[in-house]
């Protein structure tokens, strides 16, 4: 972690006629922040920022995001270059170790992923206890949390075996995700193979069958690899902040990631691509008149909104969306897969990119807009979309947990509040309450 982000510049804030000086922090990309940690001690005031949209909760060297310019980079590497040239395993190593691996380091890391791909046989019995219609994210969260019971190495010094823990999580979550799908279908589980790459192994565990062996399609593997890379980290989003907040209480990595999975489950976060598919399917089933839905989205009296447009941070085109859109076209062409929902998506995007209403409000397609169509073409059901998101985001969660735990300035996360409830009230015994 760099230590030269304090420039000596001071910001002044005037409260009750008194001027207070607060230090200014400047990041490597020029992002500026006012360090308000001493504000309450100096002035008696706290800052209010509902939703934390203007609050920096940590200093990090993992991911840089510029929403105004549409820039996303991991450890200084542009996201487009990583998606085009790297495997997901390389990017996972980059996020969790700080640098891209050498050939020797990549081989060693890949070997660890192979070694840890199996899950304890006792854990497999857990799947039998879930009702058939259990949400896959509920299964994933609870199964990840249970890992600390089977692999308790982190109990004493969590950072001592962090490389092993990272590889174990990355490998076992893939297996757990595939097993949860097989159990939901009532099919026998397919065990991981040592001769397949990370993404090919996952697809084989998902779709191989005793009656229909799965044929590895390299275009599909390549597209999945890109999708996971593009989802691998995204700064201090809801789930990543959750992992950091839970971990700040010195909670182990498994439980912290389990909490992150639960946060990702939300329809406004990881469930957004499922919402896009539901919207496109609804438009298609109701005649396919997408222009009518565009007009509905523009009507302030209509609660309908176009899913997959706009982003909390990006105020221009999501840089990940261009990559996913190209991958989507390539996969569908290779599979000779015709999808009316893709045609609808392209029509909606074309209209929105030319409409002043969307342009003025920075409502551009985001990463969720095309990812669901690729997953659909791969054969992945809608209720597994958020699981796929979690699989991709895992390296980022691990990196942030590790960075937070290793921070010498660590403090337990404890936001304050502005209380607006009733003033002091006299207690009334129960028999005297009207």
**What is the C-alpha to C-alpha distance for residues 213 and 422, in angstroms, rounded to an integer?**
66
Element (H or E) spanning 254, and its range?
helix 253-264
Phi/psi region, residue 418 (left: phi>0; alpha: psi -120 to 50; beta: rest), is: beta
Element (H or E) spanning 8, and its range?
strand 6-15
In three-state secondary structure terms, 25 is strand
Q: Which of 20, 269, 311, 400 is an active site residue?
A: 311
Residue 9's φ and ψ, nearest 5 degrees, are -70, 145
DSSP secondary structure string for all residues of 70-132:
TEEEETTEEHHHHHHH--HHHHHHHHHHSSPPPHHHHHHHHHHHHHT-S--HHHHHHHHHS-T
Q: In what order do the strands lie in the sheet with 71-74?
A: 63-66, 71-74, 77-78
**What is the C-alpha to C-alpha distance for residues 221 and 242, in angstroms, rounded to an integer?**
30
Using an 8 Å Cβ cutoff, are 256 and 247 in contact?
yes
Q: Does the active-site annotation cover 368?
A: yes
Distance of CA 349 to the CA centre of its chain: 23
**What is the C-alpha to C-alpha distance for residues 243 and 259, in angstroms, rounded to an integer?**
6
Q: Which of 208, 233, 368, 400 is an active site residue?
A: 368
Residue entry with tokens 């230590």: 3
Residue 34's φ and ψ, nearest 5 degrees, are -100, 125
Q: How far is CA 159 from CA 114, 128, 401, in A?
A: 22, 34, 10
**What is the C-alpha to C-alpha distance for residues 78 and 253, in angstroms, rounded to an integer?**
28
**What is the C-alpha to C-alpha distance for residues 402 and 75, in angstroms, rounded to an integer?**
15
Query: Can you read off the two tokens belonging to residue 218?
Result: 């390299």
Q: What is the CA radius of gyration of the chain?
A: 24
Which residues participate in catalysis according to the annotation? 311, 368
């Amino acid at each position: 972690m760099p230590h030269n982000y304090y420039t000596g510049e001071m910001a002044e804030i005037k409260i009750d006629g008194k001027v207070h000086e607060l230090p200014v922090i400047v990041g490597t990309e020029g992002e500026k922040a006012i360090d308000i940690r001493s504000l309450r001690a100096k002035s008696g005031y706290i800052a209010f920022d509902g939703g934390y949209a203007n609050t920096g909760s940590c200093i990090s060297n993992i991911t840089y995001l510029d929403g105004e310019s549409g820039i996303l980079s991991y450890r200084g590497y542009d996201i487009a270059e990583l998606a085009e040239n790297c495997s997901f395993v390389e990017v996972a190593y980059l996020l969790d170790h700080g640098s891209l691996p050498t050939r020797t380091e990549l081989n060693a890391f890949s070997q660890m992923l192979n070694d840890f791909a199996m899950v304890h046989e006792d854990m497999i019995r857990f799947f039998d206890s879930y009702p058939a219609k259990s949400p896959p994210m509920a299964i994933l969260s609870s199964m990840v949390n249970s890992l600390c019971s089977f692999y308790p190495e982190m109990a004493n010094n969590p950072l001592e075996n962090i490389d092993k823990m990272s590889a174990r999580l990355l490998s076992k979550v893939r297996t757990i995700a595939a097993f949860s799908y097989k159990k939901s279908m009532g099919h026998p589980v397919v065990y991981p193979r040592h001769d397949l790459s990370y993404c090919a192994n996952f697809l084989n565990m998902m779709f191989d069958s005793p009656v229909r062996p799965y044929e590895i399609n390299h275009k599909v593997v390549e597209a999945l690899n890109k999708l996971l890379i593009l989802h691998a980290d995204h700064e201090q989003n809801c789930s990543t902040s959750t992992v950091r907040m839970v971990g700040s209480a010195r909670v182990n990595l498994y439980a912290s990631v389990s909490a992150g999975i639960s946060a990702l489950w939300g329809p406004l976060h990881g469930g957004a691509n499922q919402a896009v598919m539901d919207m496109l399917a609804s438009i298609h089933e109701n005649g396919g008149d997408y222009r009518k839905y565009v007009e509905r989205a523009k009507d302030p009296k209509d609660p309908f909104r176009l899913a997959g447009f706009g982003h909390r941070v990006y105020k221009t085109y999501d840089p990940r969306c261009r990559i996913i859109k190209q991958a989507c076209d390539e996969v569908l062409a290779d599979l000779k897969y015709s999808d009316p929902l893709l045609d609808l998506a392209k029509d909606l995007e074309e209209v929105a990119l030319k409409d002043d209403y969307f342009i003025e409000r920075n409502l551009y397609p985001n990463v969720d807009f095309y990812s669901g169509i690729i997953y659909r073409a791969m054969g992945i059901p809608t209720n597994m979309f958020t699981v796929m998101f979690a699989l991709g985001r895992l390296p980022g969660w691990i990196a942030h947990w590790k960075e937070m735990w290793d921070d010498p300035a660590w403090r337990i996360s404890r936001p304050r509040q502005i209380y607006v409830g009733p003033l002091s009230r006299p207690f009334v015994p129960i028999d005297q309450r009207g």
